[in-house]
Amino acid sequence: MMQEIEQLPKAAQQLRRKADTHKGMFGSVAVLGGAGGMTGAALLAARTALLLGAGKVWVGLLDARISVDFQYPELMLCKAEQIFSPLQATHLLAGMGMGTSAQALQILGHCLASELPLLLDADALNLIAAHPQLQQQLRQRPSPTLLTPHPSEAARLLGTSTAAVQQDRPAAAHALAERYQCHIALKGHGTLVMSTDGQLSRNCSGNAALSSAGQGDTLAGIIMSLCAQGLELASAARVGVFLHGQAADHWLSTHPAGLGLSASETIYLARNALNHSLAQTE
Ligand SMILES: NC(=O)C1=CN([C@@H]2O[C@H](COP(=O)(O)OP(=O)(O)OC[C@H]3O[C@@H](n4cnc5c(N)ncnc54)[C@H](OP(=O)(O)O)[C@@H]3O)[C@@H](O)[C@H]2O)[C@@H](O)CC1
Ligand SMILES: Nc1ncnc2c1ncn2[C@@H]1O[C@H](COP(=O)(O)OP(=O)(O)O)[C@@H](O)[C@H]1O
């Protein structure tokens, strides 16, 4: 049976903060990605993780020519390899703008070998689709893993066409979860979340304003930020997908035709939506 998610899932209440806290209680997220020409994708995910409340955020870049994000100097930038020596993060997300080079393959191998909760998106998914040994490593991970494919990435992972995925999205989400033994968020209008316990949900928030570059990077950052703050990974996926869509729905109140929402602006709208939702239920 499929659950329709029409409001912020109750699990989000766990994000409310007590008075006596410190940053170490809200997780340390490491983003792996950002090869030449696509460092923006990794920075978008990292900025989102920070602004949605994660305690600390590292960005391990494959193209390490930049060492600071001047708009968000709170982010700690380094070479991708340095994230693993020593590993200080508590949560990993990988693939945004990572490319499919030998270096990307090696970094993805480190991610899969780690025992941390892991979100894989974009090129990490393309690498997995192309390398059977990574598929084996993925299936054998003892810790939670979430794959967040858009329909074309899902098609690559299943060895089928985008049209076939779109024709029966629940079947595709189910097949992905079975094949890779992971939680799945199959993106696109009405994003489906299939968790390894067999629960399938369809998200009802969001609209065509999200059809712009980088919106998947912000979604990945939201989800891992929520997970780092204590939500179980599948819950973080359901809450995160809803918030991401809600951000775009709020955009329509000032931009009724839904044009021109940048991924950077989605971050602020999602942050507002989360804060207001948690405050309203106090
Ligand atoms: N600022 C940066 O640095 C950014 C960097 N980025 C990085 O770029 C890299 C390549 O990623 P990518 O997703 O652009 O390419 P790719 O996997 O070939 O897929 C594109 C094709 O998929 C399809 N498709 C997508 N959604 C669909 C849907 N809902 N429903 C149906 N089909 C859908 C659609 O196919 P079409 O319909 O055109 O046949 C579309 O043309 C990756 O590393 C990423 O992180 C980006 O994050 C952007 C910001
Ligand atoms: N028409 C739409 N309705 C609802 N959500 C959408 C729509 N178009 C795009 N999205 C959402 O925007 C995000 C796009 O992610 P993705 O395709 O990975 O983009 P990118 O790789 O550029 O970051 C996904 O979360 C997707 O569900």
Q: What is the pLDDT of residues 239-274, one digit of tens each?
A: 999 999 999 999 999 999 999 999 999 999 999 999
Sign of CA dihedral 159, 40, 258, 205: positive
Give the pLDDT confidence score for residue 1 in this predicted structure. 86
Q: Using CA atoms, how far apart are residues 201 and 236, in angstroms rounded to an integer?
A: 13
Nearest residue to 221 (alpha-carbon basis) of 278, 271, 156: 271
* Residue 254 domain flag: yes
* Residue 185 domain flag: no
The arithmetic mean of pLDDT across residues 130-147, rounded, is 97
Give the pLDDT confidence score for residue 282 in this predicted structure. 57
> What is the average pLDDT value for the chain, to the nearest integer?
97
The residue whose two tokens read 């693939």 is 95
Contact 108, 135 (CB under 8 A): no
Q: Is the CB of 40 under 6 A from ligand 1?
A: yes
pLDDT band at 64 (very low <50, low <70, confident <90, very high): confident
Which residue segment(s) compose the domain that 129 sits in?
26-146+206-280
Q: Using CA atoms, how far apart are residues 189 and 117, in angstroms rounded to an integer?
A: 26
- The residue whose CA has the least distance to atom 22 of ligand 1 is 152
Give the pLDDT confidence score for residue 280 in this predicted structure. 84
**What is the four-CA torsion angle of 150, 245, 118, 21, rounded to 10 degrees?**
170
pLDDT band at 182 (very low <50, low <70, confident <90, very high): very high
191 is in an annotated binding site: yes
The arithmetic mean of pLDDT across residues 132-149, rounded, is 97
Contact 230, 93 (CB under 8 A): no
* CATH code of residue 94: 3.40.1190.20
* Residue 36 domain flag: yes
- The residue whose CA has the least distance to atom 29 of ligand 1 is 188
* Residue 116 domain flag: yes
The arithmetic mean of pLDDT across residues 275-279, rounded, is 94
The arithmetic mean of pLDDT across residues 151-174, rounded, is 98
* Residue 53 domain flag: yes
Separation of 263 CA from ligand 2 center, angstroms?
10
Separation of 15 CA from ligand 2 center, angstroms?
25
The arithmetic mean of pLDDT across residues 88-98, rounded, is 98
Separation of 121 CA from ligand 1 center, angstroms?
11
Q: Could you tell me which residues come within 8 angstroms of residue 55 by beta carbon, excluding any fewer than 6 positions away?
A: 22, 23, 24, 25, 26, 27, 28, 228, 229
Separation of 53 CA from ligand 2 center, angstroms?
22
* Residue 58 domain flag: yes
Q: Could you tell me which residues come within 8 angstroms of residue 175 by beta carbon, excluding any fewer than 6 positions away?
A: 158
* Residue 197 domain flag: no
- The residue whose CA has the least distance to atom 47 of ligand 1 is 214
Q: Is the CB of 144 under 6 A from ligand 2?
A: no
41 is in an annotated binding site: yes
What total of structural domains would you count in the chain?
Answer: 1
* Residue 68 domain flag: yes
Q: For the chain, what percent of residues have pLDDT higher than 70? A: 99
244 is in an annotated binding site: no
